[in-house]
Amino acid sequence: MKDNTSSYNSSIYDANITNVLPYYSEFHGQVIDVAKMIILESKEKVKWLDTGCGTGTLALRALSEISDIEFTLCDPSEGMLEIAKEKLSGKDIRFNTVASDALSYTNEFDIVTAIQSHHYYDIESRNIAVKKCYEALKEDGIFMTFENIMMSSEESEAIALKRWGQFLLDHGWTPEGVKAHQARRGTEMFPITIEQHLEILKNAGFKSVNILWVSYMQAGFWAIK
């Protein structure tokens, strides 16, 4: 039995995630790049909430590149948070065992991030989770999210899945493993199209909604409150 909703138990997540998600490190790099633009302008420590933080890799990297951040890390999985606490020990960070749809922060953060952590939701709960991220931000705060995406037709979806399947095979997966893993789409995780992502962000109330980055299976978005 896994201790979180990702493909791996928390203890082996870090060692394996780059064999599942093409461009995984790029997601964090893009987010940190945008964050730097905000942090450079800020006279005070920037308050950053990472929801679905997993093992804390994004926070660790951000803190290695920029010092003036006050992090709050949330995740519903105790197992993931335990690893995050170990990796970030000695740093002044708030941890909270909570899912995005149950966040209860209001007007508190300059930055909120949710990286590959909302695709387990159905549409209704996704809307609630993104709205909670919106509410957690201060006015003019920035929300950044990376998510799995669904292609716009069955034909293009099949090609994208084949391409991702080849990536998995190249990273040590068996053909049976690839099949079982891809069968999670629509059963354990629910990718949506880029248009649906943009719609959810607009529905949450963000005044500016933008695409940050796109690949054949994931996309990043940034939005201003």
Ligand X SMILES: C[S@@+](CC[C@H](N)C(=O)[O-])C[C@H]1O[C@@H](n2cnc3c(N)ncnc32)[C@H](O)[C@@H]1O
Binding site for ligand X (CB under 6 A): 4-6, 51-54, 57-58, 75-77, 80, 99-100, 115-117, 120
What minimum distance in Å lies between the beta carbon of 52 and ligand X? 3
CB of 31 closer than 8 Å to CB of 220: yes
Distance CA 30, CA 24 (A): 10
With H, G, I as helix, E, B as strand and everything else as coil, classify residue 167. helix
Of 33 and 140, CB closest to ligand X: 33
CB of 205 closer than 8 Å to CB of 137: no
What minimum distance in Å lies between the beta carbon of 85 and ligand X? 13
What minimum distance in Å lies between the beta carbon of 7 and ligand X? 7
Of 42 and 102, CB closest to ligand X: 102
Of 11 and 156, CB closest to ligand X: 11
Of 94 and 207, CB closest to ligand X: 94
Of 18 and 208, CB closest to ligand X: 18
Cα separation of the two ends of the chain: 39
Distance CA 104, CA 150 (A): 30
Q: Which residue is nearest to ligand X (CB)?
A: 54
**Residue 59 is encoded by which pair of tokens?**
């926070």
What minimum distance in Å lies between the beta carbon of 183 and ligand X? 17
Give the residue among 89, 2, 4, 90 at the shortest CA–CA distance from 53.
Answer: 4
Residues ≥6 apart with Cβ < 8 Å to 129: 51, 99, 100, 101, 103, 114, 118, 121
Name the residue with tokens 């170990």.
Answer: 86
What minimum distance in Å lies between the beta carbon of 31 and ligand X? 9
What minimum distance in Å lies between the beta carbon of 201 and ligand X? 16
Of 123 and 158, CB closest to ligand X: 123
